[in-house]
A and B are shown apart, each in its own frame.
Chain A
Amino acid sequence: MLKAEINITLKRTVADPQGLTIKHALESLGYKDLGDVRIGKLLVIKLNLKDKKRAEQEIDQMCKKLLANPIIEDYRFKIEKE
């Protein structure tokens, strides 16, 4: 069994109004030392696979096909043994 953790965020060049709003909220609570705040999704997918290479290929395809929209989103993932 393998476990993939996939992070999907908006591309750096794409505006992230949610992140910006959260940044303003944090600042108004007194947290002044903030750079960018970006918001994204975390997906955890368990795979009935043993071959890590193959798992990587499959997860990459899933991201491209469905999980992320490559026009506005970046994704990265790590795969570990369960």
Chain B
Amino acid sequence: MVKPDVYHSLGLSDKEYQDILRILKRKPTNTELAMFSVEWSEHCGYLCSRKWLKLLPKTGKYKTLIGEDSGGIIIDDLAIIFKMESHNHPSQIEPKQGAATGVGGIIRDIFTAGARPIASLNSLRFGPLSQAYNKYLLNGVVNGIQFYGNCVGVPTVGGEIYFDESYSGNCLVNAMCIGITKKEKLIRARAYGRGNAIMYVGSSTGRDGIGGCSILASNEFKEGQDKRPTVQIGDPFTEKCLIEATLEAINTGYLVGIKDMGAAGLTCCTSEMASAGNSGMDVELGAVPRREENMEPWEIMMSESQERMLVCVKKGKEEQIKKIFLKWDLNASVVGRVTDDGLVTIRDNGKIVAKINAHALTKAPIYDMPYSKPRYLRKLNKLEASKIPDAKDHNKVLLKLLATPSIANKAWVYRQYDHMVQTNTVVLPGSDAAVLRLKGTDKGIAATTDCNSRYCFLNPYRGAQIAVAEAARNLVCSGAHPAAITDCLNFGNPKKPESFWQFKNCLEGIRDACRSFNIAVVSGNVSFYNESPKSAINPTPAIGMIGILNDINKACSQNFKHEDDAIILLGYCRQDLGATEYLKEIHHLTKGDVPQLDLKLEQAVQKTALEAIEKGLVNSAHDCSEGGLAVALAECCISNKDKMIGANINKLNYDMRLDALLFGESQSRIILSCNQDSAGKLRKIALEFKAPFYVIGKTGGRVLRILNDTEELIYLSLEDLYEKWGGSLQKKIEG
């Protein structure tokens, strides 16, 4: 009998331990206990979330592919594979290496599917930059992303960064990768075919992250940076060699399956590849290349050393595959064989140290977690607008909003990332979405990540819907058809019913929005226990969305292109003050309900914009999000520093609070610019889709001027706007 405190400290409950005894019909060995503890951890086994993840649609208007570790869509003869994953807790402790290994891990998930990684994105959340540790985290995370991504040769083309007090003590680092391949080159994370070889490739195994990822990710931070787990070190050079070697190996046709040794390394790889292939495997740990001496079998099984993979190779082809990896100076060693007994058998120099049914090991228990509506909502959702004074000087407010780190220009960040390598990036970072060409075709893909976590905090269901809608809107503004989603679901402790309610409601929001757009969720990741001693983070279901451009030459970006273009607003301005950046930054309130979202209206607006862009009628397109109409217009004016163009908005006529008109965050709004004589055609398209259509002014000059009826609300020079928007983030980081 294993003592309860031993399995408890491994995170296993009494009930789970009884289940293990039932499965094995005997006492587990140390190695077996370790293997169960990681496979049945929240991090690997999705115990709390699995029941609800089933809600997410797996099919949509584009043909989907759902693999073991990633998913994607099929476009003609191409497969586009993508996934987003969190690396929050490691980054909080060691930001550079935490972020770097996060990037490395997600890239491996893509090329182990047989796809060449062509782009990375990331979704980051930090506490306010007024605190030194948050600044250190931001610097370290950006440094880690550039260190790994630049070296490995995958362009970092987009992403988002938001700052909010709730992330102080628990930053979020979500990394996304996109890959492409011919669809017949895809490969699964499976092992089957009795006698086929199990081969270990990549870096050697050390005691990296033993109990790190799995245990770490299942415990909230009690003492913050005093926690001292082993952190892994990223090696982008080895990863670059692994990409080339792996794709070369897949090309031979001799591989049966392949899987990245991510969380819980060899344990996950052996058991999950066998289980997915309905087979077993017999593995000899003595053959595993090692960096450290005297490693115990369970240490080898739990190690999370980076840049390693397990490959199932057709019997008799081992030497050919080995040769490819050796050419790239990488380890390649046959460590075992596929069996047909359904068992994962692990030997240490011949002696059996674990023998477990693969299905049983990988079928972690599913828990039905209790949930209840958080009490904070009743109080916070109430907003007495009459008690909030309208701003006296709207110019000042606009300048202040443009300078807030969440809105300000992120060039300081993305210029540290190589966003052009592989020569596919057609729309560079800084617009609504990144656009990549697909060489050899006329098509392109657009990609974005989105989530307004303040919305999700104040209304998880609608907040999550808006995250999906906004991601789609961003893609549409780039000229792309929204096609599919990956999600990275960052939440607090799932054992707290109020936290779990946020999770459940966000999932339902994502589901309903996806159904409305008829798009699928093809991959994703759940990260729970994102809490600091003070509080849980805002619920943050980061949405990574891919869109398809049928004609890459029609790619569109947000900045105004010509003087004297008509400026058009699609959508309605309502008095939506609740949950806005304006309330938070100017009135220091995180309150109210989030803006309404009418998915029918959203579709009408998006379809209008997309059709107009595809017909070549549009010169620029930008969605209204944080900071509302005024911020969006300012960004249209100044986001191309080399060619800033002013605007005169003189046809608004609204009877509402002026701060709400300028800075309210009504959803389903897109700002277009077009040649004056195209405006009529555009109006016809809007009529056809029943989208609200307003010509609100025209481009030109060196000033942004906004009137309501005859009252001048905003009059600011482009230089003043740019100074606040362009330089603030860098100043706050370096200052």
- A/B: CB atoms within 8 Å of each other: yes
Tell me if A71 counts as interface (CB < 8 A to partner B). Answer: yes
Determine, out of B37-45, B232-240, B549-557, the stretch whose residues face the partner at the interface.
B232-240
Tell me if A15 counts as interface (CB < 8 A to partner B). Answer: yes
User: B94 contacts which chain A residues (CB < 8 A)?
Assistant: 69, 71-72
Give min CB distance, B575 to chain A, whole Å: 49
Tell me if A48 counts as interface (CB < 8 A to partner B). Answer: no
B237 and A17 contacting across the interface, CB-CB below 8 Å = yes
Tell me if A59 counts as interface (CB < 8 A to partner B). Answer: no
Give min CB distance, B237 to chain A, whole Å: 6
CA distance A66 to B444 in the complex (A): 45
Which residues of B from 226 to 270 have beta carbons under 8 Å from A? 228-235, 237-238
Cβ-neighbour of B231 out of A16, A17, A24, A71 (below 8 A): A71
Give min CB distance, A70 to chain B, whole Å: 7
Cβ-neighbour of A71 out of B93, B203, B305 (below 8 A): B93
Q: Chain A 33-57, CB within 8 Å of chain B: the 1/0 string? A: 0000000000000000000000000
Tell me if A14 counts as interface (CB < 8 A to partner B). Answer: yes
Tell me if B291 counts as interface (CB < 8 A to partner A). Answer: yes
Give min CB distance, B722 to chain A, whole Å: 34
B93 and A15 contacting across the interface, CB-CB below 8 Å = no
CA distance A24 to B330 in the complex (A): 11
CA distance A14 to B230 in the complex (A): 8
Cβ-neighbour of B206 out of A15, A24, A70, A72 (below 8 A): A15
Tell me if A63 counts as interface (CB < 8 A to partner B). Answer: no
User: A15 contacts which chain B residues (CB < 8 A)?
Assistant: 203, 206, 208, 232-233, 235, 291, 305-306
CA distance A72 to B230 in the complex (A): 7
CB-based nearest B residue for A70: B228
CA distance A30 to B213 in the complex (A): 39
Give min CB distance, B50 to chain A, whole Å: 32
B228 and A71 contacting across the interface, CB-CB below 8 Å = yes
B235 and A13 contacting across the interface, CB-CB below 8 Å = no
User: A71 contacts which chain B residues (CB < 8 A)?
Assistant: 93-94, 228-229, 231
Give min CB distance, B278 to chain A, whole Å: 35
User: A13 contacts which chain B residues (CB < 8 A)?
Assistant: 206-207, 230, 292
CA distance A78 to B238 in the complex (A): 35
CA distance A24 to B207 in the complex (A): 21
A17 and B93 contacting across the interface, CB-CB below 8 Å = no
CA distance A17 to B291 in the complex (A): 11
CB-based nearest A residue for B93: A71
Give min CB distance, B369 to chain A, whole Å: 32
CB-based nearest A residue for B97: A72
User: B585 contacts which chain A residues (CB < 8 A)?
Assistant: none
Which residues of B from 438 to 486 have beta carbons under 8 Å from A? none
Give min CB distance, B227 to chain A, whole Å: 8
Which residues of A from 1 to 41 have beta carbons under 8 Å from B? 10, 13-17, 21, 24
Instruction: Assign chain A's interface to a size class.
Output: 10 to 19
B233 and A10 contacting across the interface, CB-CB below 8 Å = yes
User: B231 contacts which chain A residues (CB < 8 A)?
Assistant: 14, 71-72
B232 and A24 contacting across the interface, CB-CB below 8 Å = no
**Known contacts A13-B292, A15-B306, A17-B238; is A72 also within 8 Å of B233 by CB?**
yes
CB-based nearest A residue for B210: A13
Tell me if B329 counts as interface (CB < 8 A to partner A). Answer: yes
CB-based nearest B residue for A24: B329
User: A21 contacts which chain B residues (CB < 8 A)?
Assistant: 237
CA distance A24 to B229 in the complex (A): 29
CA distance A66 to B306 in the complex (A): 26
Give min CB distance, B319 to chain A, whole Å: 23
Give min CB distance, B141 to chain A, whole Å: 14
User: A17 contacts which chain B residues (CB < 8 A)?
Assistant: 203, 233-235, 237-238
CB-based nearest A residue for B208: A15
CA distance A69 to B233 in the complex (A): 13
User: B291 contacts which chain A residues (CB < 8 A)?
Assistant: 15
User: A10 contacts which chain B residues (CB < 8 A)?
Assistant: 233
CB-based nearest B residue for A14: B233
Which residues of B from 278 to 305 have beta carbons under 8 Å from A? 291-292, 305
CA distance A70 to B35 in the complex (A): 29
User: A72 contacts which chain B residues (CB < 8 A)?
Assistant: 94, 97, 231, 233
Counting chain B CB atoms within 10 Å of each CB, which of A10, A15, A71 scores highest? A15
Give min CB distance, A26 to chain B, whole Å: 14
Give min CB distance, A13 to chain B, whole Å: 6
Give min CB distance, A2 to chain B, whole Å: 27
CA distance A24 to B230 in the complex (A): 25
CA distance A37 to B152 in the complex (A): 23
CB-based nearest B residue for A13: B207
User: B234 contacts which chain A residues (CB < 8 A)?
Assistant: 17
Q: Chain B 494-510, CB within 8 Å of chain A: the 1/0 string? A: 00000000000000000
Give min CB distance, B169 to chain A, whole Å: 16
CB-based nearest B residue for A11: B230
User: B238 contacts which chain A residues (CB < 8 A)?
Assistant: 17
Give min CB distance, B225 to chain A, whole Å: 8
CA distance A14 to B94 in the complex (A): 13
User: B233 contacts which chain A residues (CB < 8 A)?
Assistant: 10, 14-17, 72
Counting chain B CB atoms within 10 Å of each CB, which of A14, A21, A70 scores highest? A14
User: B97 contacts which chain A residues (CB < 8 A)?
Assistant: 72
CA distance A47 to B228 in the complex (A): 31
CA distance A72 to B212 in the complex (A): 13
Which residues of A from 51 to 82 have beta carbons under 8 Å from B? 69-72
Q: Chain B 196-220, CB within 8 Å of chain A: the 1/0 string? A: 0000000100111000000000000
Give min CB distance, B492 to chain A, whole Å: 24
User: B305 contacts which chain A residues (CB < 8 A)?
Assistant: 15
Give min CB distance, A45 to chain B, whole Å: 20
Give min CB distance, B204 to chain A, whole Å: 8
Give min CB distance, A30 to chain B, whole Å: 17
Give min CB distance, B253 to chain A, whole Å: 30
CB-based nearest B residue for A10: B233
CA distance A70 to B91 in the complex (A): 15
User: A69 contacts which chain B residues (CB < 8 A)?
Assistant: 94
User: B292 contacts which chain A residues (CB < 8 A)?
Assistant: 13
A14 and B208 contacting across the interface, CB-CB below 8 Å = yes
User: B228 contacts which chain A residues (CB < 8 A)?
Assistant: 70-71
What 6 pairs between A and B have smallest CB-CB spacing?
Answer: A17-B235, A15-B233, A72-B231, A71-B231, A71-B94, A15-B206
Can you spell out 12 A-B residue pairs with CB atoms less than 8 angstroms apart? A13-B292, A15-B206, A15-B208, A15-B235, A15-B291, A16-B233, A17-B235, A21-B237, A70-B228, A72-B97, A72-B231, A72-B233
Please name 10 further chain A to chain B contacts, defined as beta carbons within 8 Å, in addition to the given A15-B232, A17-B235, A72-B97, sorted by A numbering.
A13-B206, A13-B292, A14-B230, A14-B233, A15-B235, A15-B291, A17-B233, A17-B234, A21-B237, A71-B231
